[in-house]
Each structure stands twice: as structure tokens, then as C-alpha cells.
Amino acid sequence: MPAPTDTVIDNEVYSRIADTWWTEDSVLCLLRHHLNPCRFDYFDEVLEQRLGKKLANCRVLDVGCGGGFLTEEFAKRGCEVVGVDPSAESIEVARAHAIQSGLDITYHVGYAEHLPCDDASFDVICCCDVLEHVQDLEQVIADATRVLKPDGVYCFDTVNRTFISWLFYIKIAQEWSWTSYIPENLHDWRMFVRPKELTALFANNGMAAQDFVGMGPNINGLRVVQELRRLKTGKIDFRGFADQMKTIRTRDMACSYMGYATKV
């Protein structure tokens, strides 16, 4: 599944704003405070409770690690962790923050399509906020399979390609001036991934999808828009917005979803 040839998706934004990865009042703080607790709790439950893996014994690869939010969560649980990201600026920030936090994490500049890792070298891959951005999704899944050990686990989140995701992620979050809060061209709706498409990609590349679960705000749609208006008018900052709107697990996968697959 190559990306549309005419896509205007801007993946360079992460390099331009890399110095704000760990800043409290930045759009990137939403990933840490709004999204991370929900998805890390889910991955922790999957790995330890459902699959019986001891995180402290796992070697984990964080693909598209950015400034190291999820990377550091795994490191704090005792995992041996490697982070990979195409943004050299983000990797520099991630390395500095790991040192500051006293965490032993290895970071590499690299792409999800061609991971700078040996075959069968990881127990777990974590791939969040990535699949909807890549140029060749099938190659991303294929290379993940290559570096996973037998019975390895692939944890991910992404965005579904539906009317609801178009309305929220493209129109409300990105294009409409009175509600937009993420950089222009951060997402291209055509690159969003339906669960059935991801299931097929896993099956075609040596993995089996095991679970999908929806992700959504803990407040209703009207309240989301109200909080966005407060953000746009300066009544709250990004951290305040994240505190008002937490991500929770839902049965509804119309917008965002997460899950895991296993290498077969």
C-alpha cells in the first residue's frame, strides 16, 4: 500500500518543532498527556496479562519514537529499549532527555521501511503515530516482521479511514481555522488505515492480527469543540487541553484504534 503520489503530508514538521517534544505548552505534549497513558496501559496489559511476558525480560523496538515518550515508558519498566525515528532532530532530543532522566536507551536515525536492526532481534515492536504517515505501509509491516523474534508482538495505534476521522482529524483538527490545533498537512485522509486492510497486511507478511480496540475522548463531541475553542482563544494552553480531554478505550473504532499482532 504505497502512499498516494500526490500526497502533501508534511512529516518534516517533527524536525521543525523537535525542541518542543518535552515542553508542556506545545502540541506535542498532547501525545504524552492525552494519548500515552491510554495506549501504554493497553500495551502493558497485552504483554504482561494476556501474553504472560515479563517486560523486564523484553527487548523492545520503538518505531517512530519521536522524542521518546513511549520509549521511556518501556525503559522505566526495565526493558532493553531501542528507538528509531527518521527525524535526526527528534533523536537528538530523545537522547538528551534519556540521559537527563537516567535511562539507558539506544537511539538511531532510521526509517520504518528499512529498520537499522538485525533479523529476529526484538521481542516487542511498538509503532504509534506512524502507520498513517509512511510511504510504503506494506514494507513497514514486512520489515517489522523481519526484526521480530518468533512469537514476537507488534503493538500499534493508527487512524481509521472513515467519514468521522475525516471530519475530526482533517477538518476540525487541521483545516478549520476556528478549531484547528495541529500543523497544516500533518495528516492525509487517504493514508489512514482501515482495520481490515491492516489485518490483510499482517497476514501477507508473516503476522496475525490478534486484537483491535477503539480510542476516543472521555468527553462528548460538543465538549471537545468547546475545549478547542478555549484553546484557540487562549483560555487554556495545550497542557490544559490535554487535562480536559483524556483518551480512553472504546468499542468505537471510527476514528482512532490500537491493537496488536503476533509473528507466526
pLDDT digits (tens, 9 = 90+) for 96-147: 999 999 999 999 999 999 999 999 999 999 999 999 999 999 999 999 999 9
Q: What does the domain layout of the chain look like in residue ranges?
A: 13-263
- What are 52's three cell numbers? 504472560
∠ CA 89-91-97, rounded to 5°: 105
Neighbours of 58 (CB within 10 A): 21
13-263, superfamily in CATH?
Vaccinia Virus protein VP39 (3.40.50.150)
Q: What is the pTM of this model?
A: 0.96
Query: In whole angstroms, what is the distance from residue 81 CA to residue 75 CA?
Result: 6
Tell me the β-bridge partners of 211. Answer: 260
Answer yes or no: is pLDDT of 3 > 80.
Answer: no
- Sheet containing 148-159, strands listed edge to edge, beginning at the edge strand earlier in sequence: 105-109, 80-85, 59-63, 122-127, 148-159, 256-263, 207-217, 247-250
Amino acid type, 200: A
Q: What would the pLDDT profile of 154-181 be if each residue is shown by its tens digit? A: 999 999 999 999 999 999 999 999 999 9
Neighbours of 142 (CB within 10 A): 16
